[in-house]
Structure 1
């Protein structure tokens, strides 16, 4: 389990390609390597990956075909940075919200509003995910637990959209500071919201039969 509180960023220093398969090698800073062992779970831009090799600061992770298809990790190149969160441990403070590290889809950054000491980002979702987003609800964006500021329903020529407001600390700690319109981010819908919505839909569907 993860909490959506990104602990820092790490640089991709090598990529080993295979058929429908990749290995990413990251240079993890010392604080993020503390106690790290083979088999440990580490979230990269919100994607739960398993440590497959450790060589000093260089830590390797394997990416399967489905991960490459569903997430923005397949578009990374050497020199790019990713948000990093180590798996939560029993007793840790949960400052964000419970996240599984299972990205559902990507969303496109379509609008960026700058203001003193904060930034508002608007993202467009795939239509199927629109029913899971609500004003003031939780959402995971590139592994960051964020509160949805506002939701715009899908229109004739666009999908559903939502915005988040970022404080300077979030911008300083994560790669969202570098995101520009056209970039695609990983999205994890709040699991509790998803469960409630799907349960209500099943109940209503059963009653109308």
Structure 2
């Protein structure tokens, strides 16, 4: 239910370590059944401040793209790569037809969309050329997914801050991506050679 004038209902029970572990071990089915897509888009779930109102994030991101302040290539490839790896994970886990919905929820939960629209498109740290921006977005999606979904980084729960670490890592790689993707300038013959 959409609540405009109230905060989310607070938790009244004392939270113990067992409860905390249970919250973070929810299955995708439990998350999907407890939160509707409309509630997810309207920000009617507990989350970090500024990252739960997904509809507002999408609208502001599109406004920035229409005004040519940010480029659509990085968010599209970033979110697309993350979605594809999440979909592959759920398909291989035997989730069946619900895998597409679970993968969509994995993109919309947390602050992945906020990072894609506002942090990844920072003009000072993104690659200069189109091919580099596509590579940057794909690698950013892959690194974010690896950090958030593998036991190497956090064996007990998904690491929701993985996108921030991925941004820092990819910002360090931007110079290298620019070197790899800089268009090559063809040799222009000198004027004397053309006349001869």
Higher helix proportion, which one? 2
Higher strand proportion, which one? 1
TM-score over 0.5 (shorter chain): no
Structure number with the bigger relative contact order (C-alpha 8 A, sep ≥ 6) is: 1
TM-score calculated relative to the size of structure 1: 0.26
TM-score calculated relative to the size of structure 2: 0.27
Q: Which is higher, the Rg of structure 1 or of structure 2? A: 2
